[in-house]
Amino acid sequence: MNNTGCRQPDKKLFEHTILPILHILVFIVGLIANGWGLNSLRRSWRKLGNINIFVLNLGLADILYLLTLPFLIVYHIKGNKWIFGEGFCLVTRFCFNLNLYCSIGFLTCISVYRYLSIVHPMRTMGRLTTTHSVVISLIVWILVGAQSFPDMFYPKTFGGKKCFDSTSNEHMKSYLNYSIIWTSFGFCIPFLITIWSYGHVTLVVCRSKTIDKDLKRRSLKLLVILILLFLLCYAPYHVFKNLSMYSRVLINQGICPDWDSALFSVRQASRGLVSLNSALNPLVYLHVYEDMGAHLREQLQGGQQMFSRLFTSNFCSVPVAPSEPDEV
């Protein structure tokens, strides 16, 4: 806890109102979108290609995190009082980290595979097999799990009530060093690889006169989606998370940063944005797996037609009251 006398920001609006509302929306939208995406993959299992293995794992990582959101919603609604035990607090935070960095890892794999298949199609023809994709996916899970595992050794609860997403103030300096290394390998390097891969893909696609226009359009859309995911969801979270922990280290040393209150606001906003990745990742399905877009349009058209028939049926079945005869 803070015993330095530094002015504390008002946490109620963000932590007790905005975050739980956002988590509820992410839980509903994310569960529906990822459930639809995984079901579409299941129905077209025989058509799965190399990249689609990564999309499948991306959806599984999202579902894993989404299932922990109801507990975080209760936590925030109760005024940041954790009632599910210290062990489950560690599991919940571990699932968040697993989802976050597996998502980044699989998005990076998708970018590299797109780069290889478009920029070097002849060299990679027949070499990028489904087995390779499965092995790489397992490696991503193992590496992210190993990277996230040390986080579970840091205290996450305080007085049996809190469930920190970082750790207590006593261990903050050590945790900041760990987080900086984590950020470098878990976010910065994959981000640079993704930008380089899709930057190269964009140049090749735009310059080529033989590549199909539909492939060009989908590749450019996927590039925009991936960059938005990194810049909107992932980058602000890592920047402001580390700055927030640095601020707490200074406060523990008796230094009150003038920018701490403003940092708290943007830090909470970045926490909300990073949770959106589980609801936005299904956009990748539409631009990686060609049949999904058509399947979604068919479902939407079918739902619209069913709604129209239901509305017409109900409207026509409403009895019309007989008009009274005019008085003579």
What ranges do the domains of the chain cover? 12-290
Q: What pLDDT is attached to residue 309?
A: 61
Domain 12-290 class? mainly alpha
Q: State the pLDDT confidence band at 144, using cuts at 50, 70 and 90.
A: very high
| Tens digits of residue pLDDT in 239-280 | 999 999 999 999 988 898 888 888 988 998 898 889 888 888
**Could you give the count of Cα atoms lying within 13 Å of 75 in the half-sphere of its Cβ?**
25
> Are 172 and 89 a contacting pair, CB within 8 Å?
no
Whether the per-residue pLDDT at 322 is higher than 60: the answer is: no
**H-helix segments, 120-167:** 121-124, 130-148
> Are 152 and 86 a contacting pair, CB within 8 Å?
no
Q: What pLDDT is attached to residue 65?
A: 92
- Radius of gyration (Cα) for the chain, nearest Å? 24
Q: What pLDDT is attached to residue 157?
A: 83
The mean pLDDT of the chain is: 82
Please tell me the least confidently modeled range out of 43-52, 94-103, 206-215, 245-254. 43-52
Instruction: Determine the Cα–Cα distance for residues 80 and 15; give it in Å rounded to an integer.
Output: 8
Q: Is the pTM of this model over 0.75?
A: yes
Read off the amino acid at residue 238: H
Count the Cβ atoms, other than its own, within 10 Å of residue 219: 19
Read off the amino acid at residue 181: I
Cα 254 to the center of its chain, rounded Å: 36
| Tens digits of residue pLDDT in 277-299 | 888 888 776 666 554 445 444 54
Whether the per-residue pLDDT at 315 is higher than 80: the answer is: no
> Are 179 and 151 a contacting pair, CB within 8 Å?
no
Distances (CA, A) of 168 to 26, 100, 159, 173, 265: 27, 22, 11, 10, 20
> Are 54 and 137 a contacting pair, CB within 8 Å?
yes
Mean pLDDT of 299-307: 50
Instruction: Determine the Cα–Cα distance for residues 255 and 239; give it in Å rounded to an integer.
Output: 21
> Are 132 and 109 a contacting pair, CB within 8 Å?
no
Q: What pLDDT is attached to residue 324?
A: 46
Q: State the pLDDT confidence band at 1, using cuts at 50, 70 and 90.
A: very low
Instruction: Determine the Cα–Cα distance for residues 42 and 104; give it in Å rounded to an integer.
Output: 23
